[in-house]
Structure 1
Amino acid sequence: MSDQLALENQVCFPIYALAREIVNHYRPFLDELDITYPQYLVLLVLWKETELAVGQLGERVFLDTGTLTPLLKRMQQKELVSRQRSTQDERIVMVSLTPKGIKLKEQACSIPQKLMESMQVTPEELNLLKEVVCRILNKQK
């Protein structure tokens, strides 16, 4: 029974360690853009969606509003996003990209390839990993 509680027998530990390792591989590429990993996630969503409410954005990047709001304030100070109250419901804050945030996409385009090279994995290996992780995440919703 105690073997089940050994760290090396836990499924969660290598996943946790891998998540940290992947973020560490992102760091030098994101440092060049002067953004953090959570800011990168926000930008990835906004490069596709253009404008979202803070709550919708939080759902997409798995961050609560208490974490997301200060992150968005820092991004606004860097002139990457703008935040404005909705005209239909002033309780809702809408987030959209600024021209500087839109332009940053050009510089970020090479990050996925650089990441694979840094981690020394193939696109197929990453897709397999992503598929399994997404299957687990979707079962928890």
Structure 2
Amino acid sequence: MNDSQLKLENQLCHRLYMAANGIVRSYRPLLEAIDLTYPQYVVMMAMWEHEKLTIASLLEKTAIDGGAMTLILKKMVAKSLLDIVKDEHDKRKKWVTLTAQGLQLKSQALQIPQQIRCCFPSVSTEDLKQLTQLLDKILVDL
């Protein structure tokens, strides 16, 4: 083993870290316009897709930490975007549902994916497909 393996420029994890941070920074001004943080946006995308999910399902779909999710949901309930209700048959289970205001926000967010895509003109559609496939392989191994 030689010390070139410890050079920052040779670290895949650091490239992923820098890319993830850069992408999230690119979202910031777009999400500020609709008063969401990136984690809140991730929750809203899951909710726009399903409209009603248990908290456990929401955790699974978003891969957000449980403690962080609790804080995110509290803020989103306070913003009147989501409601949380206990299951009628199992009081331990809680459902997250979209409010009318949360559903309305979807129309304001529709342009965000294309606006983000425009931030990366040197990345082709084929590159994105390949990157998605490679990241999915990495995620399977985690």
Q: TM-score, normalised by structure 1?
A: 0.93
Offset of 1:127 from its aligned partner?
A: 2.3
Structure 2 unaligned segments of length 5 or more: list them: none
Letter aligned with residue 117 of structure 1: C
Instruction: Write the distance in 1 (CA, Å) between the matches of 2:113 and 2:130.
Output: 16
Structure 1 unaligned segments of length 5 or more: list them: none
1:14-53 alignment runs, 5 A limit:
14-53=15-54
- RMSD value, Cα: 1.2
Deviations 1:32-53 (A, max 9, x none): 0000000000011111111111
Q: Which runs of 4+ in 1 moved over 4 A?
A: none
SS in structure 1 at match of 2:15: helix
2:1 paired with 1:11: no
Offset of 1:123 from its aligned partner?
A: 3.0
> Matched residues, percent identical?
38
Q: How many residues align?
A: 140
Deviations 1:109-140 (A, max 9, x none): 10111001122233333222112111211233
**2:119 corresponds to:** 118
